[in-house]
Amino acid sequence: MGGHHKKNIRAEKAKVKLKGAKLPKGLNVTKTDFKVRKIEIREQLKESYLPTNNGQRQLNLKEALSRLKHHNLKFRTDALRNVRDAVKAGQASHLIGHLNELLQGIAAGALDMERDVRSESYKTLDVLLEALPVDAVAPFFHIIAPYLRCAMTHVQPAIQEDSLLLLDVLLQRVPSRLLAERSASTIISNFIDMISRQRHDTQHTNRLLTVRIGQGQGQGQLTTIKWRTKVLLRLQQILSTLLQQGKSDKNARPAARVVHYNAATPQYYNVVRPPLIDRRDLHTILGEKARKAEDEQLLSYVEQLMPLLHDNWMEVRPQQLQQTQLLNADAAASLHVLLNIMTQLWQLVRQYESTQQESTHELSDWMRRTYAGKFARIFLKEGNYPYQQTPMADSLKQKKGKKMKAPAAGGQLCIAQNLSLVQLVCYFWPHPDSEQGDDYGPLLHYVSQCLRQLHTLTTDEQLRLVAALRALLLDNGAALLQLQAHHMGTVMQNCIDAYVGQQFTTREGVATKVLNLLCLIVQRNELYKGYGGKYQFTKFLGYLPQLLLKPSVADVTLTAMSTLCRQQNVVFMTALMDSASEVLANIEQLLVTGDFSTEESRFENQRRILNLFYYARHFGDLAKLQATLQEMENNASDRVANYLKCILSYD
C-alpha cells in the first residue's frame, strides 16, 4: 500500500499546470450563425388533434383511442384527460362519429385496477354525457350498461365501491327513461347482490345480509353499516326513476278510442294498403330477451328487498332497551334510507294497480298479509316511536363549525323518518281493527305536534307531512274516525289552522297540496260530517272564496266549490256572497291551473265560477249583486256579463 501511495504522489508532481492567460471573451459565446429550415406538416396530420394539456404533446383522436387501452397507467390517464379537455373545448360534435369506440374505451375504465384511471373515467364520461344530446347517447347506452353491471359485481371491493360513482353519473346525465326501460331490473338485482348473498338453507327468506370487513381493527361493523347505506341510497334513486317513468307513461297514454258500431251507418276502408312501419323498440330489434311482466317484476322486488330491509334495521338499531329511542348518526341515516325505499315500493305497487283496466289489489293485499305484522313489530312496538337521534357532543360542534338543528316536533334530525313511518303504517293497515287502532294513537299525536311546530320544519319535511296527512285524513279517514275520532278531529283542526294561517310554505307546491287535500275531504260527505261538519270547517270554508281573488286558482279548488254549492253548504255560500263584488271584478284576470289558454277554455272556466252564484244568490244581498252586474255590463266582456245576467234571472 505504501508504494502505491508514493506512486500517486509522483503522478501529481508530474502534472503540468496551466499557467497561461484566460481565453478571450469572444471564443466563449455559442455560435448562432447556422442555417434553419421550417418543418411543414401535411394536412392529414393536422386533422383530429386534441388540445394540448399543460404543454404536453397533442394527441389526435385515433391515438387517444388507442391509448385508452394502453398498459401504462400514465398513458391511460392522459388519454382520458385529453378527451375530456376536447369535450370542454367544444369539440363534442366532432366525436359523435366515434362514440362507439370512445364510450367503449371510457366505460372500460370502470373496471381498471388503478383508482386514478377509474376516477378519470367517471369524470370524462360525466363531461361527455353532459355535452352530447340524448338522441346521440341512446343507441350506445347498451355499451355503458354492461360495464356498470360488471363493476357492481366485481370481486374487488374497491371497484365495487367506485361503481356507485359511475351510477351517480348515469343517474344525473342519462334520462330516467333509458335507465328504467331495460336496465333498472338488472341494476336492482346487482344492488341486492352488493349487500347480500343467496341463502341455501331452509329459512323463509332467500337472501342473507353480508358483512363488509373494514381495513382497521374494530372497524368492520361500522364499515358495513355505511356501505349498506351508500348502496341503498343509490337503490332509492333507481326506484325514483321507475316512479318517474311510470308517471310519464301514465300521462302520455292516449285515451282509449271507443268505436260504436251501427249497421245503418256506412263504413269506409282504405283501398290502398298504407306502408308498413316497424314499430318495435330497439331492444326487440336487437333480439334481447323479453322483459318480465310488470307485476312479476314488482313482486320480485318486494320479495327480495323487504326481508333485507327488515334484517338491516334489526342489525343497525340500538340493542340496549334503555337506549331504544336514541339513534346514532349512522342508524338515523340508515333508517331514513330504509323507510324511503319501503315507501317507494308501496308507491310502485299502488301506481301499477291504478293503471290496470280492472280494479285489482292482489299485490297490495299480499304485501299486507306477508309483511305488515313484522313491520309493526320491528319499527313501532320494539322501536319506541317517535325516534330521536343522540345529540352531538359540543366538541364536535365546535370542531366542524356547523350549527346543529334544534330538536323539533319529537326528535332531532328524525322528523322525516317519523313522518315516513306514519305513511307506511297507513299503507299496511288501511282498515285497522281495534288493536291496530291503538297503534295509530302515537302517530296521530306526533302529526299534531308537527302541525303545531310547522315553522321548524324544512320543505322536504313539510312534503312528508302532507303525504302523511293525506294517508291519515283522506285515504284511511273513514276507518280511523271510527277508532280515533278525537285524535283525528284534533289533527284536522290543526291542519286547517295552519293552512288558513299560511304557515305552510309555498315552495315545492306544499300549500297547494294541502289545499287540494282539504278540498277533496269536503267533497266527500261522510268525511265532512265525520270531522265535525261546518263547526270544524267554518274557518276553511270562510277562507275559500278568498282564493278567487288571487291571480290563479287550481282546478280541484273550483271543483270543490261547485260540490259545496250543490250540497247547499251555507257557510261557504254566505262567504262567497260577501266577496261577490271582488270575485266578479277579478274574474277577467283569474287563471285556472291547467287551462289551455284558449278563448273557449277561459270562458268555460269563467262560467264555472259564475255558476257558483246561481246557488249562492239567496244567501246574501241580491241587490248588491245586481249592482255589481250593472258595473260588469260597462267594464267586463259581453259574454261574461250576459251569462251572469241569465243566471240571476233564472228561477
Q: What is the pLDDT of residues 329-342, one digit of tens each?
A: 888 889 999 999 99
Per-residue model confidence (pLDDT) at position 407: 38
The grid coordinates of residue 189 equal: 338485482
The grid coordinates of residue 567 equal: 250540497
Most confident of 167-171, 471-475, 615-619: 471-475
Alpha carbon separation from 585 to 555, 589, 610 (Å, rounded): 20, 9, 12
Per-residue model confidence (pLDDT) at position 595: 63
* Pairwise CA distance, residues 310 & 306, whole Å: 6
Do residues 239 and 231 lie in contact, with contact meaning Cβ atoms separated by under 8 Å?
Answer: no
Alpha-helical runs (H) found in 279-393? 282-285, 294-316, 329-354, 362-376
pLDDT in tens, 172-181: 888 877 777 6
Coil, strand, or helix at residue 196? strand
Bridge partners, 591 (sequence order): 552
Average pLDDT value for residue range 558-573: 89
- pLDDT over threshold 80, residue 306: yes
Per-residue model confidence (pLDDT) at position 248: 65
Query: What Rg value do the Cα atoms of the chain yield, rounded?
Result: 36
- pLDDT over threshold 80, residue 375: yes
Bridge partners, 197 (sequence order): 208
Do residues 187 and 238 lie in contact, with contact meaning Cβ atoms separated by under 8 Å?
Answer: yes
Do residues 618 and 576 lie in contact, with contact meaning Cβ atoms separated by under 8 Å?
Answer: no
Share of the chain above pLDDT 70, in %: 79
| Ramachandran assignment for 77, one of left (phi > 0), alpha (psi -120 to 50 degrees), beta (any other) | alpha
Residue 448 amino acid letter: S
Per-residue model confidence (pLDDT) at position 397: 46
* Pairwise CA distance, residues 496 & 504, whole Å: 11
Question: 515 vs 193, which has greater pLDDT?
Answer: 515
* Pairwise CA distance, residues 95 & 159, whole Å: 28
Q: How confident is the model at residue 628 (pLDDT cuts 50, 70, 90)?
A: confident
Torsion over CA: 620, 623, 624, 627 (sign): positive
The grid coordinates of residue 524 equal: 266527500
- pLDDT over threshold 50, residue 411: no
Residue 252 amino acid letter: A
- pLDDT over threshold 70, residue 55: no
Average pLDDT value for residue range 271-299: 66
How far out from the chain centre does Cα 501 lie? Answer: 30
Burial (0-12, 13-18, 19+ Cβ within 10 Å), 329: exposed
- pLDDT over threshold 50, residue 183: yes
> If you average pLDDT over every residue of the chain, what do you get?
80
* Pairwise CA distance, residues 425 & 407, whole Å: 24
Average pLDDT value for residue range 233-260: 71
CATH topology of domain 47-199+215-248: Leucine-rich Repeat Variant (1.25.10)
Coil, strand, or helix at residue 565? helix
Average pLDDT value for residue range 611-634: 82
User: Of 259, 454, 475, 456, nearest to 354 (Cα)?
Assistant: 475
Question: 587 vs 396, which has greater pLDDT?
Answer: 587
Torsion over CA: 273, 276, 279, 280 (sign): positive
The grid coordinates of residue 220 equal: 368492520
The residue behind cell 234571472 is 649
Per-residue model confidence (pLDDT) at position 383: 76
Alpha-helical runs (H) found in 89-218? 99-108, 115-131, 134-137, 141-152, 157-173, 176-178, 184-195
- pLDDT over threshold 80, residue 27: no
Do residues 141 and 208 lie in contact, with contact meaning Cβ atoms separated by under 8 Å?
Answer: no
- pLDDT over threshold 60, residue 158: yes
How far out from the chain centre does Cα 407 lie? Answer: 26
Question: 209 vs 490, which has greater pLDDT?
Answer: 490
Burial (0-12, 13-18, 19+ Cβ within 10 Å), 618: exposed
Most confident of 10-19, 204-213, 605-614: 605-614
Per-residue model confidence (pLDDT) at position 596: 62
Residue 410: CB atoms within 10 A of its CB come to 20
Lowest-confidence pick of 15-24, 28-37, 397-406, 596-605: 397-406
Spell out a b/e string for 172-205, using b for 16 or more CB atoms within 10 Å of the CB, else e: ebbebebbbbbbbbebbbbbbbbbbeeeeeeeeb
Q: Which residues contact 532 (CB under 8 A, 6 or more apart)?
A: 489, 492
Coil, strand, or helix at residue 438? helix
Establish whether the linkage from the previous residue to 274 is cis, with ω within 30° of 0.
Answer: no
Q: Which residues contact 625 (CB under 8 A, 6 or more apart)?
A: 577, 580, 613, 617, 648
Average pLDDT value for residue range 91-96: 76
Half-sphere exposure of 251 toward its Cβ, with a 13 Å CA cutoff? 6
* Pairwise CA distance, residues 239 & 243, whole Å: 6
- pLDDT over threshold 80, residue 507: yes
Contacts 24+ apart (CB under 8 A), 398-402: none
The residue count of the chain comes to: 651
How far out from the chain centre does Cα 204 lie? Answer: 33
Alpha carbon separation from 423 to 111, 123, 419 (Å, rounded): 41, 39, 7
Question: 323 vs 489, which has greater pLDDT?
Answer: 489
DSSP state of 620: S
* Pairwise CA distance, residues 213 & 39, whole Å: 60
* Pairwise CA distance, residues 309 & 573, whole Å: 51
* Pairwise CA distance, residues 435 & 96, whole Å: 64
Bridge partners, 388 (sequence order): 326
Per-residue model confidence (pLDDT) at position 597: 64
Per-residue model confidence (pLDDT) at position 473: 93
* Pairwise CA distance, residues 76 & 56, whole Å: 14
- pLDDT over threshold 70, residue 377: yes
Bridge partners, 60 (sequence order): 49
Per-residue model confidence (pLDDT) at position 399: 46
* Pairwise CA distance, residues 72 & 67, whole Å: 9
